[in-house]
Amino acid sequence: MERQLSPVIVFSFSRKECEVQAMEISSLDLTDSREKFLIQDVFCNAIALLSEEDRKLPQVESLLPILKNGIGIHHSGLLPIIKEALFATETFSMGLNMPAKTVLFTAVRKFDGKVHRWLSSGEYIQMSGRAGRRGLDKRGVVILVLESSIGADIAKNIIKGDADPLNSEFRLTYNMVLNLFRVEGINPEFMLERS
């Protein structure tokens, strides 16, 4: 973090990649002795809530050394109690408010359950939108690690393409209209015009 790019969110597209890549940079020491002490204190308090058996899980035992160096992991396979740190799959970008100065993509290709495909522009927008902290950074930094096989047109579409279409699931029912008539102080016509 010599170029003052931290905090950084690194997006990987598999649980295993998250863990492997976090371990690969675990020799980086991003915290001072006071922070290490505080991290250990929070970690020990959190795992004290676990059963003795759960405390011995490899996932739990391997976490403290990297956390103390300022590196965290987050993916859907972690125990909820240890999801208080971060190296993330794309699920992190959905609905969690944790902006960073820098966002790093380890790849722009992902497996969607059926095939390996390029990120959509909407996925890229959602994840890269984490870069830059309001009121703290003049701009956010986004770093992409690109495969040599990616063409300029594909890269351009990922970065500058249209956002994914937004399709409303809202369905107006007779019941909703009747309920609006029952609520005092609400003009149902006004509400329906703006829905």
Q: What is the CATH number of the domain that holds 30?
A: 3.40.50.300
pLDDT of residue 91: 55
Does position 134 have pLDDT exceeding 70, yes or no? yes
Domain-located, residue 110: yes
Token readout for 190 is 């006004």
Domain-located, residue 192: no
Give the model confidence (pLDDT) of 3-22 as tens digits. Answer: 577 788 888 888 888 888 88
| pTM exceeds cut of 0.75 | no
Domain-located, residue 111: yes
Does position 87 have pLDDT exceeding 80, yes or no? no
Does position 174 have pLDDT exceeding 70, yes or no? yes
Which residues form the domain of 12? Answer: 8-160
Q: How many domains does the chain have?
A: 1
CA 155 – CA 143 distance, rounded (Å): 13
Give the model confidence (pLDDT) of 34-56 as tens digits. Answer: 988 888 888 888 788 888 888 88
Domain-located, residue 172: no
Domain-located, residue 46: yes
Domain-located, residue 177: no
Neighbouring residues of 46: CB distance < 8 A, sequence distance ≥ 6: 81, 82, 84
Q: How confident is the model at residue 118 (pLDDT cuts 50, 70, 90)?
A: very high
Look at 42-46, 108-112, 123-127 and tell me which has the smallest mean pLDDT: 42-46
Domain-located, residue 174: no
Domain-located, residue 145: yes
